[in-house]
Structure 1
Amino acid sequence: MDAKNVNYRMEIIQQSAHTIHHEVMWFERVVDTALTLYFKNESEFDSIYAHQPPEIVTIDSPYTQLIREYELGFEERLILILALIPHVKPQCLDVFLIKNQNLDCEFSEFGGVKSTIKSGFFPTLETACFILGGYDFNARFTFLSVIKKDHLLYKIGILDYDAEQDFGLHQPLKISNEYLGLLTTGKKYLPQFGAKFPAKEISTKLNWEDLIVDQNVMEDLTEVKDWLLYSDLILNEWELDNKLKPGYRVLFYGLPGTGKTMAASLLGKATNRPVFRVDLSLVVSKYIGETEKNLGQLFDEAEHKDWILFFDEADALFGKRTSTKGANDRYANQEVAYLLQRIEDFSGLVVLATNIQTNIDEAFSRRFQSMIHFPKPGKKERKLLWERLFQDTFELESAINLETLSDDYELSGGEMINVLRYCALEAAKRNKKIIELNDIIIGVRREYNKSNKTI
């Protein structure tokens, strides 16, 4: 990270620290008043609402940006800072560790849960409900009617909840890892790839004009891109959501190296959406019986954050739907049915990539909005690819004719990149940025040998 980026990161951290410090001070005043009023001690305030949240007009940090973007009010800001406090100033919550002297036990109305790995008080929704309403039934019932799984704070992924528990006031009040990182350091958090999150973010340094495909493929991809750009207008502003199903499902099929992954990455880049690749051959085969659980989190998170899901090697998904010969086959078929249903219900873009179109059954193929074939590039596309690969970096030996290369050798874009890698290595060994014809011929022969072809 260069000095400019380091300074920018430090500036964000300082702004975040300043904002959260003042938000915590406000929270402490609110809690002090809430407890004073609850225990009927003398107070100069008759309500916690006498303490209004800090002004955020002149401050620009990830925290204040979030408040402004979603127009968070008193209650939402209190819940948000309560969820964040165990990570930034846990001692603020020690006041809830006091005991009921009459019963020699904790105050159940404070809520909270205990941790097996560290000491302290960890809030639940009950804690927030108590602070906001105390013993006021009206405030409590209002809280219960508003705070549900579809509440904004949960819907956009600011707060996490345990999906395996019934949702209620006993739910621990937990800020998601993503927003913990974003609000404190401004740094985006991504779940770690593994069994619980079987996906990795993919991106590209290339641009839309760098994608060399035939005109039909480009037109089909442009339609997908246009849907991402205009679907909100069509479905919501024009109110066609009662006639058109949200989401877009597209199948990319074609031989390896023909641009399927690059196209998915560029769709994300062109529409400012993260793209996550899921390798279904890994998921379905290695985690038999676990797919539904492991991919559930992925679909939920992608739904909230407008991710594009790219299911690579989708052959594994469709190939599992066979006759059941044992428990594993039954599990696999159940999991595939679950995956297909989640894919069909997903409100964003789902791209499935396969090498062989015939693996897709007819019933499911009707659910795709587009099925795009990525053929090997023709002569025209091959010439463009050769030009793009060598331009700006290398000088070509005079004997090299890109037109002739394009006519003589049928290669995919991926195979041509492998040829470039070989040629670059040979040029580096000579310490000259000159590509020789013999290097290209050897590179092509190496690619042909992989598929048992000869020049």
Structure 2
Amino acid sequence: MVSTLVLTLRTVVEQRLKQEFKGGKFDDIVIPPVEHDDSEISKFKQDNKLSPSEILTLLIALVPHVSPEFFSNIIAEYLPNGGDFPAFGGVKGKNHRGILPTGETVLYILAGNDIGKRVEVAKLFDEEHLFAQKSVLYIEAVPAGEPKMSGRLIMDEEYVDLFLSGKLSRPKLSSDFPAQRISTNLEWSDLVLRQKTLEEIRELETWLNYNDRLLDEWGMHDKIKPGFRVLFYGPSGTGKTMTTCLLGKYTRRDVYRVDLSMVISKYIGETEKNLSGLFNKAEHKDWILFFDEADSLFGKRTNVRDAHDKYANQEVSYLLQRIEAHRGLVILASNMKGNIDSAFTRRFNAFVEFVPPEINEREKLWQVYMPPKSKIHNDIQLDQLAKNYELTGANIVNIIQYAGLLTVKQGNVILKKDALLAGIKKEYKKEGKILQQ
């Protein structure tokens, strides 16, 4: 399909250049019909009911990725001795040796020198257009004072991969995308929480599964705010991250944990820039955004004593706007509910408290994470471990891992109580607790 579309684009570009260089009149170009097939670009065209101009714009952005010499070779046929051709637009890249299309390239191919048509074509890059709404392609920002349309035409890497390989790639953690995908191999049955907490989690699962139907089938788009915002709060190790991963797993959504160390900057305006890139990328994606240890970014605003306080408060205000406008699920995790700025909490749809497990819950956690019975010595009584040691799920996982490694190191094949007690002692010491023997 891509090769056929490239030939279609070549036909269209040649029509425009013949009008330019062979004395023809600048008329509307004739776009050859494109047959539908099972390719991803064809499906995208069908699903979004793309117009011929929109299809060509997609192709103009995509073609350098499959045929770097595409535009250079065509232009060389009409300018064999070289020379500048500013009407066509295009720029040279740092590594790419061919012509990279710009917004001006799209205007020229689709509208020639017809000012009215060029204005209409430029609307393809409005924020309301599906290209922007779905983060498919955009015009790269240009230096102040230069025409906007002279910026490079850039297709999002995810769509480049989708159209060329048939697979939608996932963004990787970088300075441009300060978030990392997280997942779990565990099941809901492995999650040990209080019944009240579990019921509140099921409400989130209901929103993820049925909110689109409510908005579409019931016509509620104008009456309900987009997205869902929830605060998970409670001590570390009580299941906040695992719950988030399970929500993603069972609703078939990717979960991205935001790396706040890459978001927060001491330089004025950089934090907002980093947040903007993150939310722009996540817009119209079925992702769950997870802000772990959110206090550092969502904490209470301070009284303005100096310029630093002023800009810190501006960051919180900007983040508030972006979260409120985001259409997906945003989960903030904090050790304490009171640490989060009230401006955010007033706008949360739900609060879910994660509390340390009690005796019966701790026993179930020991049961879930212990190795098979054949690997456990009969001197280990899980009910006694649950009764005697106040531990979270994360503590118990760490203890079993430590004890297991210690057992293997010693050349043993059976996990004994002494190894577990050594792990418990280590966890208590790490948290500044005194282990009562």
The residue type equivalent to 2:260 in the other structure is: L
1:299 aligned onto 2:283: no
The residue type equivalent to 1:134 in the other structure is: G
Aligned residue number for residue 14 of structure 1: none
When structure 1 is superposed on structure 2, of 357-366 and 160-169 the one drifting more is 160-169
Distance 1:303 1:280 in 2: 19
Identity percentage of aligned residues: 42
1:120 aligned onto 2:128: no
Partners of 1:98 and 1:107 within 8 A in 2: no
Distance 1:419 1:394 in 2: 19
User: Structure 1 pair 365/430, CA: closer, same or farther in 2 (3 Å)?
Assistant: same
1:238 aligned onto 2:224: no
Deviation, structure 1 residue 290: 0.9
Distance 2:321 2:164 in 1: 37
TM-score (norm 2): 0.89
Distance 2:413 2:39 in 1: 47
Partners of 1:279 and 1:313 within 8 A in 2: no
User: Structure 1 pair 50/225, CA: closer, same or farther in 2 (3 Å)?
Assistant: closer
Aligned residue number for residue 33 of structure 2: 52
Q: Deviations over 1:130-177 (max 9, x none)?
A: 222334556434423454232222321221333577985334211112
Aligned residue number for residue 402 of structure 2: 422
* Matching residue within 351, 366, 371 for 2:346: 366
1:336 aligned onto 2:316: yes
Deviation, structure 1 residue 276: 1.3
The residue type equivalent to 1:25 in the other structure is: L
2:264 alignment partner, SS class = helix
Deviation, structure 1 residue 80: 1.2
Count of residues paired in the alignment: 430
2:50 alignment partner, SS class = coil
Partners of 1:38 and 1:135 within 8 A in 2: no
Aligned residue number for residue 76 of structure 1: 54
1:321 alignment partner, SS class = coil
Aligned residue number for residue 32 of structure 1: 14
Deviation, structure 1 residue 128: 2.0
1:368 alignment partner, SS class = coil
Distance 1:125 1:91 in 2: 18
The residue type equivalent to 1:331 in the other structure is: Y
Distance 1:42 1:326 in 2: 65
Distance 1:100 1:281 in 2: 51
Deviation, structure 1 residue 299: 0.8
TM-score (norm 1): 0.85
Deviation, structure 1 residue 48: 3.9
Aligned residue number for residue 213 of structure 1: 193
1:138-287 equivalences in 2 (<5 Å): 139-162=117-140, 168-280=148-260, 283-284=263-264
Distance 1:118 1:241 in 2: 44
2:333 alignment partner, SS class = strand
Distance 1:216 1:68 in 2: 45
The residue type equivalent to 2:41 in the other structure is: Y
User: Structure 1 pair 220/62, CA: closer, same or farther in 2 (3 Å)?
Assistant: same
2:126 alignment partner, SS class = coil
2:331 alignment partner, SS class = strand
5+ long unaligned stretches in structure 2? none
Aligned residue number for residue 351 of structure 1: 331
The residue type equivalent to 2:238 in the other structure is: T
* Matching residue within 418, 429, 432 for 1:449: 429
The residue type equivalent to 2:9 in the other structure is: F
Deviation, structure 1 residue 71: 3.5
Partners of 1:199 and 1:277 within 8 A in 2: yes
Deviation, structure 1 residue 23: 1.9
1:174 alignment partner, SS class = strand
2:149 alignment partner, SS class = coil
User: Structure 1 pair 259/440, CA: closer, same or farther in 2 (3 Å)?
Assistant: same
The residue type equivalent to 1:417 in the other structure is: V
Deviation, structure 1 residue 25: 1.9
1:305 alignment partner, SS class = coil
Partners of 1:96 and 1:121 within 8 A in 2: no
